[in-house]
Amino acid sequence: MSSSPSLIHRRRKDHRRGIAYSVLLVGNTGTGKTAFANNLLESAVFPHRYSLETPQLPGNPRVQIVKPTKVVSYNSKNGIPSHVAQFDASREHLEPGITITSTTMEISTNSEEAGSRASVSSDGSSSAATQQGVATDKILFNLVKTHGIGENLDNRMCFKEITAFLEQQFDQVLAEETKIQRNPRFEDTRVHVALYFIEPTGHGLRELDVEMMKRLSRYANVLPIVARADSFTREELANFKKNIMDDIERYNVPIYKFEVDPEEDDVETIEENQALALLQPFAVVASDTKNSDGEYVRSYLWGDAKIDDTEISDLGVLKNVLFGSHFQEFKDTMQNVLYENYRAERLSSVAEWDVDQQKAVSENKRDSGAPSLSNFASLITTGQFKSSTSLALRPQSETPPVAVDAKDSVMEDPASPTLRQISQSIRRGNEEIINNIKNSPRAEGPGSPDRSKLRNISETVPYVLKHERIIAKQQKLEELEAQSARELQKRIQELEKKAAELKLREKLLRQRHLDGSASSLRSRYSTDSNISQAAPQIKKEESRTDLASIVSGKA
Ligand SMILES: Nc1nc2c(ncn2[C@@H]2O[C@H](COP(=O)(O)OP(=O)(O)OP(=O)(O)O)[C@@H](O)[C@H]2O)c(=O)[nH]1
């Protein structure tokens, strides 16, 4: 396929800015994501949560930070979006829910490295750089990291925050694509690869792992990673890897598999992919310590282990897969499979709103040529458009059901007639439009109704997406407010309980004080020595009864 001049122009610009590539590190807290990120970049870019020192840059002159770490999730305290705040690793655990951060770096590769690192793609052809006909020397690398997974009592919030973030990156590209006038400075931040760090339990996958990987795989190529692999003996590691892969098969988790196509792939690619498939899940050992030779090592009581040693860690292989052999493959799969599916679903849903609106207008015998924006506005005001109903296909699940909160279950309730109706009519409407366009060449005329429907879609999409984001933020705020109200209520109850306890104590003390005065009175005025001896035997319970009756009874 020949490239148009404008496409070539855009590619040249991309080349100048660097090829955008995003990797997401997800996993429970403490699984070694930060150490791994620093090892991946061979540079102390990221501070650890427990370390108060900001890392001294750079260990690696080829890595330049273009945009420092910032919070990109909508995570708020007092209703102020935290993405305006700078990220502070030592305070991350104080935030509710989880935090997602993004750091953009420019990785320079000299021509030799560009040849070896980013040249061989899965189909044996040359990759990103050479396919574009220019020598690549820059990758605009966006590293996204999650913080705080597994720290909350209820981890359901994590799923929502991560998928909302990934979805938002897709939406931004979709909105940009449908604009008549595109922004030449638009930055594509869609995630190409998600590395999911599995805790080294030695057993297999947990429900959280299965659910998280399933959700991630709708938006990115997911690679499961065995974290802190030095926790195992050789045999234990082999067993753990096997258990993980068995669970992935059993629960139908659509991770990225290094599959081969004997008809398409050359022998070398087939052998490489087969070896990588056998190695999956990659087991990594990470460290922030360097030995005197400048190599990253983990120093144990019994000696040092080099983290690049392929005998003990798959880190080197993984690096090569990410930046070398599968660089282009990951980009292509995300764009051509994951994003395209998402886009088709999204546009279908928007098309349906338009179709419904036009139907409603024609039923009311009004002009059906209303502009899309007003269609959209009326959808919102009439409540026909429910932003929270994402119609993207859910992957088939055999997972044991994970409890979802009430709002979720309402949103995703298959029995919900509105959602089902919307979904069915979207498909019908969309198929109809596509069929009409395919079957009738005349329909491609500038004035045809299908053409105008498509134009309406492209005009409507950015507004729909923007509205959805506003609604999502509003929902998030409401959730946070509800959470604060619950916490406040709990605190009030605790304080009331404490106050009651204090009151009781005060009463007891006063009683005891009165009892003390009574006994001293008795000892002072009583002539009978027995009475004064009996007085200290008054029990605590008795002290609560009427002092006068005790005194009169015993006197
Ligand atoms: N034994 C072992 N320890 C590791 C490994 N990688 C990291 N660690 C240690 O594990 C601890 C946590 O590592 P981090 O890299 O901060 O973990 P993280 O996943 O980024 O943690 P959060 O920032 O809380 O999400 C640190 O003490 C690391 O030195 C590893 O491969 N093996």
Kindly report, residue by residue over 269-287, the tens digit of the pLDDT: 899 999 999 999 999 999 9
Beta carbons of 413 and 419 less than 8 angstroms apart = yes
Average pLDDT, the chain: 72
Residue 278: count of CB within 10 angstroms of its CB: 10
**How much distance in Å is there from the Cα of 287 to the middle of ligand 1?**
8
Beta strand segments in 19-118, E = 19-27, 63-71, 76-77, 80-81, 99-108
Buried b or exposed e, range 247-271, using 16+ CB within 10 angstroms: bbeebebebbebebeeeebeeebbe
Q: What residues does ligand 1 touch, defined as CB less than 6 Å away? A: 29-35, 48-49, 147, 228, 230, 285-286
Percent of the chain with pLDDT over 90: 25
Measured in whole angstroms, the distance separating CA 485 from the mean position of its chain's CA atoms is 25
Q: What is the ipTM of this complex?
A: 0.96
What's the CA gap between 196 and 177, in Å, rounded?
30
> Which residue's CA is minimally distant from atom 3 of ligand 1?
228
Q: What contacts 191, CB < 8 A, 6 or more positions away?
A: 22, 23, 24, 144, 166, 169, 219, 220, 334
Question: Pick from 39, 163, 145, 34: which is nearest to 100 by CA?
Answer: 145
- Of 287, 289, 306, 315, the one to substitute when testing ligand 1's pocket (max ligand atoms within 8 A of C-beta) is 287
Q: Which long-range contacts (CB under 8 A, 24 or more apart) does 274-278 make?
A: 276/317, 276/321
pLDDT mean over 347-366:
64
What's the CA gap between 438 and 375, in Å, rounded?
26
Measured from the CA of 197, which atom of ligand 1 is nearest?
19
What's the CA gap between 434 and 454, in Å, rounded?
10
pLDDT for the residue 429? 60
**Angle formed by the axes of helices 207-216 and 156-177, nearest 10°:** 10
The neighbouring-strand residues paired with 193 are 23, 221
Span 92-118, pLDDT tens digits: 555 556 788 889 988 887 644 443 433
User: What burial class does residue 336 get, using C-beta atoms within 10 Å of its C-beta: 0-12 exposed, 13-18 middle, 19+ buried?
Assistant: exposed
pLDDT for the residue 293? 82
pLDDT mean over 331-338:
93
pLDDT mean over 226-254:
93
pLDDT for the residue 524? 63
Whether 192 shows a pLDDT value over 80: the answer reads: yes
Q: Which residue has the higher pLDDT, 280 or 432?
A: 280
- From residue 118, give the alpha-carbon distance in Å to each of 23, 49, 57, 104, 308: 16, 33, 25, 19, 20
Which CATH number describes the domain made up of 16-325? 3.40.50.300
Q: Which residue has the higher pLDDT, 373 or 488?
A: 488
What's the CA gap between 99 and 87, in Å, rounded?
9
Measured from the CA of 48, which atom of ligand 1 is nearest?
16
The DSSP secondary-structure symbol of 280 reads P
**How much distance in Å is there from the Cα of 34 to the middle of ligand 1?**
7
**How much distance in Å is there from the Cα of 280 to the middle of ligand 1?**
21
What's the CA gap between 309 and 302, in Å, rounded?
17
**How much distance in Å is there from the Cα of 31 to the middle of ligand 1?**
5
> Which residue's CA is minimally distant from atom 8 of ligand 1?
32
Measured from the CA of 27, which atom of ligand 1 is nearest?
19
pLDDT band for 24, please (50, 70, 90 cuts): very high
